[in-house]
Structure 1
Amino acid sequence: FDNDTIRVITSFENITGTEVRDCVCSQTIYFLVNPGKIAMTIGKNGHNIRTAEKMLGRPIKVFEWSENGKELIKNMISKAKKIELKDERAVVTISQEDRGAIIGRRGNNIKAIRELLIRNSDIKELKILP
């Protein structure tokens, strides 16, 4: 991680009291936290996330890590209709109306999800199908 990412992770951990497993910083900051820690990370009524967004000046998305590749994808792409894993490749089927939200502006969401998947699972390729 570069210094900016380390600063972001440290600030987020201090606000939420949750250990960050991985982080991708772009216009939105994407955090991967350990299983069972998502509620603590978000805080009551989203308080921790809102506080962190104000302090860091960017929107935040938090995903729960799983050792199971299919479960990890489901945690990151909750609106996935179908997830197929073969070797190191994942094919995720989504609805056309969810496509924009999942992929994100200029593909930022899907780029971050791919990066987190590659760094935290055996999955090396992610394909999204409508």
Structure 2
Amino acid sequence: MAKVRLTTEEIMKIGFFEKIANVPIIDCILNDERVAFIVKEGDVGAAIGKGGENVKTAEEKFGKKVDIIEYSDDWRKFIRNIFAPIQLEDVWVKRVGKDVVAFIKINPKVRRAVFGEKGKNLERALKILKRHTKITKIKVIVENQRFKRRGARKPVAKEQQQEQAEKQPEAAQEVEAQQDVKETTNE
């Protein structure tokens, strides 16, 4: 894990929360509406407190919603923790050129929760990932539900799909087979 630079405000919030929760905080990410604390693996329960009392106390003090995110050296697990309690269908990380990209496959029903208003949730997730991993981009793949239902007709015959598969490289198939892909970068 790389060294993280903190602002004075972040340091003050970490100090307050460590005092009430009695749990070491790895990092603090602030935005207009939320404060997110990153804690070591296994410390989430203690950080939240009995009946959520630590989180409630912090929310009253800061006047913002407080999120507790469990850190993990396993990047896929860490990504799932960032988006918890939202259920992600699949998560994988791949090097694409110079970038390390996190691919997140989701159900269309959770799309709004994953993206957030004007993409704020994705921006926050990318900020956290850039601070704690080598991930530089996030791509969200919205699963195509229409073709998963039983009895739904597929618009392309199997022979045509096989022909297309032979013409396209593996990486392109994986991404193009999905209904919707959105890329978020902070440059």
Q: Match for residue 53 of structure 2?
A: 47
Q: Match for residue 70 of structure 2?
A: 64
Aligned mates of 1:68, 1:118 — CA distance in 2: 14
Q: Match for residue 116 of structure 1?
A: 128
Q: How far apart are residue 43 of structure 1 and its match?
A: 0.6
- Structure number with the bigger relative contact order (C-alpha 8 A, sep ≥ 6) is 1
Q: How far apart are residue 82 of structure 1 and its match?
A: 0.9
Q: How far apart are residue 118 of structure 1 and its match?
A: 1.0
For residues 79-129 of structure 1, give each alpha carbon's deviation from its aligned partner in whole angstroms, at most 9, with x where no partner exists.
Answer: 110112112211101111211112222322221111111111122211112
Aligned mates of 2:74, 2:67 — CA distance in 1: 20
Provide runs of 4+ in structure 1 moved above 6 Å.
none
Aligned residue for 1:67, secondary structure, equals coil
Question: TM-score, structure 1 length as denominator?
Answer: 0.93
Structure 1: stretches of 5+ with no match in the other structure: none
- Number of aligned positions between the proteins: 130
- The answer to whether the 8 A contact 1:5-1:23 is kept is yes
Q: Match for residue 38 of structure 1?
A: 44
Structure 2: stretches of 5+ with no match in the other structure: 1-5, 143-187
- RMSD across aligned C-alpha pairs, in angstroms? 1.2
Q: How far apart are residue 21 of structure 1 and its match?
A: 0.8
Aligned mates of 1:28, 1:13 — CA distance in 2: 17
